[in-house]
Amino acid sequence: MIKGIIFDMGGVLIDLDYERCATAYESLGFKDIRNYLDPYHQKGIYGDMESGKVSEDEFYDFVLSKFRPGCRRADVDACMRSFYDGPTKEKGELLRSLKERGYRIYMLSNNNPIMMRICREDFRKADIDLDSFFDELFISCEMKMLKPGREIYDEAVRRSGLRADELLFIDDSPRNTEAARGAGIVALDYVQGTDLSGLLLSALPQA
């Protein structure tokens, strides 16, 4: 029986817009940003920040060295924010309804400290406080582990206190869901923009 639900953030709880984000960076002078950005798995220093190998200060310094003179950290934040939309009120309502049904709710995200700071602000607009609402946040930069590495799934299972087969994981990357299944977790493949509520209803027993 499923007792806990683990959500990916980007592409599931929030919609991603790769092209808009890449264009924003390019407009400020970072012409080779597409060598670092990816809809699923960031590369280079972007990926290094998500895995906790470099600090946000080091990341800011690197990006500003690529930007035209006069740009500031706020410009980097604006580019990051352009990567996504949301979360919507509807997804906030879905999360609350699942919690009301007694499910433990988790987030497992390849993410970085800059984006997490931005997302904490934006989730509040959907009446969700990330730190108090979720039973636990499994964030790659804090854990120093990245999906689809097996160790991040094993650690999430351990911290949840549940068996792997009592957890349902939703992600928009087939590599990530395949890895979760390899760790014994029940996993659903989600396509951004489709009906997340309907997908979950098809996998969970009706109240």
What's 139's DSSP letter? E
Rounded Cα gap, residues 96 and 185, in angstroms: 22
pTM of the model: 0.95
Q: Which two tokens stand for residue 54?
A: 């470099």
Q: Once rounded to an integer, what is the mean pLDDT over residues 114-129?
A: 91
**How many CB atoms within 10 Å of residue 61?**
13
Banded model confidence at residue 40, pLDDT cuts 50, 70, 90: confident
pLDDT given for residue 102 in this prediction: 96
In this prediction, what percent of the chain has a pLDDT beyond 90? Answer: 89
> What is the 8-class DSSP label of residue 68?
P
**Six token digits for residue 176:** 């990530």
For the residues 176-205, what does the mean pLDDT come to?
95
Predicted confidence at residue 126, as pLDDT, reads: 84
Long-range contacts for 36-44 (Cβ within 8 Å, ≥24 apart)?
A: 39/11, 40/11, 40/172, 40/173, 40/175, 40/176, 41/110, 41/146, 41/147, 41/173, 41/175, 42/110
Q: Residue 44: which of 20, 67, 62, 26 has the closest Cα?
A: 62
Q: What does the pLDDT average to over 128-151?
A: 97
| CA separation for the pair 142, 91 (Å, rounded) | 25
Q: Flag whether pLDDT at 204 surpasses 60.
A: yes
Q: Measured in Å, how far apart are the chain's first and last C-alpha atoms?
A: 13
Condensed to tens digits (0 to 9), the pLDDT of residues 62-121 reads 999 999 999 999 999 999 999 998 788 899 999 999 999 999 999 999 999 999 999 999
Report how far residue 207's alpha carbon sits from residue 204's, in angstroms, rounded to the nearest whole number. Answer: 9
Does residue 153 register a pLDDT over 60? yes
pLDDT attached to residue 112: 96
Distance in angstroms (rounded) separating the CA atoms of residues 190 and 11:
8
**Residues 17/85, Cβ–Cβ less than 8 Å:** yes
